[in-house]
Amino acid sequence: MNKQPSLSGLTDELAQAKTRKKEFLGQIERIIPWREWIGIIRPHYYTGERGNKPYELEIMLRIHLLQNLYDLSDMGVMGEVIDSRAFSEFCGVESSNQVPDGDTIGRFRALLVQHGLQEKLFTQVVNLLMERGLILKKGSDISNRQFMFRNNINYRRGYGRN
The answer to whether residues 135 and 129 touch, using CB atoms and an 8 Å cutoff, is yes
What is the tens place of the pLDDT at every residue in 111-161?
999 999 999 998 898 888 888 887 655 444 443 333 344 333 333 334 444
CA 116 from centre of chain: 18
State the pLDDT confidence band at 13, using cuts at 50, 70 and 90. Answer: low
- pTM for the model: 0.74
- How far are the Cα atoms of 18, 30, 33, 43, 111 from residue 25, in angstroms, in the given order? 11, 9, 14, 27, 24
Question: Which has the closest alpha carbon to 62: 83, 85, 93?
Answer: 93
pLDDT, tens digit (0-9, with 9 covering 90-100), for 71-91: 999 999 999 999 999 999 999
